[in-house]
Structure 1
């Protein structure tokens, strides 16, 4: 489990991220999610992503959209899943990055709440084994990841792939943050500066520091603590 705080959104409390492997009841969980079961007030994600940093970007953008009242999806949880996608097709994003009936490795994100209570609840919901997020990379399918983010098959360096992924996500964020294409932003009094400059900040910090967690702290005002 990892717990994060986003200084730009203190009213939303801590963000908790869990990884479960060998999950046996994904089909049941997905069915309950589709029926809008309020007990499953979490973001359920297929663990086919490259790095936790992708999650931090998606979570940050979801919190921003919620604060600005410009959610593209039903709620904060589906918005996190949607923001993992490099394009604006909601159905495709939820299908690709949400859990499927046969998902065996899943990520669960909870906005707010107390860590031990959340962990206990998830343990009762999910028939699987909680696993350290340090193991996330080994659960990802690099071929599918490259396909989803349109990464050239010739690119095999993990850091380079991650930079391409983050760049793809940033382009989507910049487009949806444009007040011309999205009039709600122009009239809502909500600053979009950090969204418009996200891509430039990523390039600048990666070039200067080469450390994605330094990048996270600068771009998102992020404090990170890890347990388990």
Structure 2
């Protein structure tokens, strides 16, 4: 819990620092553009008489709107993470844009815009893994790219029980769309001491920004159980491909 709290605080500061740098850069570019437009209006007053009005009204108004939108998104992200911190082991940003959350039940969540991926990775031996840090989770995810899909669950595809279970979760969290898949590392892939033998994932898209994060907190164990059942019940070893 202490490590997760520290990670959340580091994440908050990183998001705020990145936002400040972005605002300074945009502000400087805006000032340069405004100065250039004013210069053009003085050099060609008849053809650019509208420029002073544009510089006085539209330019600062657009900058203020951008700041408001960015601040709102920043506050939403920080608030989301704070509400889930009791279930977090670690949190961070991957490649500067994608938020990564590692939960205490082994789930790994990656967030980008309105898209939320929930991952359950296995160990190389095939048992469900439980990463402790973002770097561990991302190392497992890199091994995912050598995998192939052996089962997909969509509204009209996959085992009926799996479709029904995924739909129920989607409705409870308020997502507009959801799909899930089970992936397996081919036996022909190079041996690796860290790559997972399989991974299951659920994508929730179009989640409203005003959804209470506590709804997600209440579903973490249900999502984890569903992703494990993809491997053990819906697409068990030996029956892969029968419901694809």
Per the TM superposition, whether the score is higher than 0.5 is no
More strand by share: 2
Larger Rg: 2
Question: Which has the higher relative contact order, 1 or 2, with Cα contacts under 8 A spaced 6 or more apart?
Answer: 1
TM-score between both structures, scaled by the size of structure 2 = 0.22
